[in-house]
Amino acid sequence: MARREILLWPDVRLSISCAPVDEITDDIRALVTDMFDTMYDAPGRGLAGPQVGAMLRLFVMDATWKEGEKSPLVAINPEIVAFSDETCEMDEGCLSIPGITATVTRPERITLAWTDLEGYRHAREMTGAEARIAQHEYDHLDGLVHFDRLDAKTRARLEEIYA
């Protein structure tokens, strides 16, 4: 098991948009393996490249493993191609901001398109925890953390707690 260091906010790398993955190489495969090891060990349900200092548009996630059944997903160059009009509020945590949860409003359903490690393109509608995790990790690829989804007063209060 190769565990990578998880960057902690406000590390500047967590505020930078990531570059696309040009080619799926052995280095990318090793990175993904390390990211899963790191995520499961943390223990989290998702981890994006920039959270381990890899400034690439990829994330790993597993919405069900804490309930006893693993469903790992590798999303390379993901795109959220559709959002539902319906939204829901849910408490979110972040491995890069440990110990702090915040209530974030997000679309209830999304359609995510991504490339897998074998180079195949997929698209799937996601709901519930799966949609929430994918949106959270996707934000990291654009240099956003869940604090960026909060109103100024709530964010300031949580930043004070985290400091």
Structural domains of the chain ordered from first start: 12-162 (3.90.45.10)
Nearest to 92 by CA among 31, 156, 135: 135
- Given 79, 92, 137, 160, the catalytic residue: 137
Prediction pTM value: 0.96
What does the alpha-carbon distance between residue 107 and residue 117 come to, in Å, rounded to a whole number? 27
Q: For the chain, what is the largest distance between any 2 Cα atoms, rounded to a whole number of angstroms?
A: 45
pLDDT band at residue 1 under the 50/70/90 scheme: low
Q: Coil, helix or strand for 25?
A: coil
* Residue whose structure tokens are 């074998």: 118
Digit-coded pLDDT (tens) for 10-39: 999 999 999 999 999 999 999 999 999 999
Digit-coded pLDDT (tens) for 77-123: 999 999 999 999 999 999 999 999 999 999 999 999 999 999 999 99
Digit-coded pLDDT (tens) for 36-82: 999 999 999 999 999 999 999 999 999 999 999 999 999 999 999 99
Cis peptide before 43 (omega within 30 of 0): yes
Hey, how many other C-beta atoms are within 10 angstroms of the C-beta on 68? 6
- Give me the pLDDT at residue 105, please: 97
Cα distances (Å, whole numbers) of residue 40 to 84, 85, 107, 119, 147: 29, 32, 26, 24, 23
Digit-coded pLDDT (tens) for 122-157: 999 999 999 999 999 999 999 999 999 999 999 999
- Give me the pLDDT at residue 163, please: 77
What does the alpha-carbon distance between residue 123 and residue 111 come to, in Å, rounded to a whole number? 7
Contact present, 58 and 77 (Cβ < 8 Å): yes
* Whether residue 89 lies in the annotated active site: no
What does the alpha-carbon distance between residue 101 and residue 35 come to, in Å, rounded to a whole number? 22
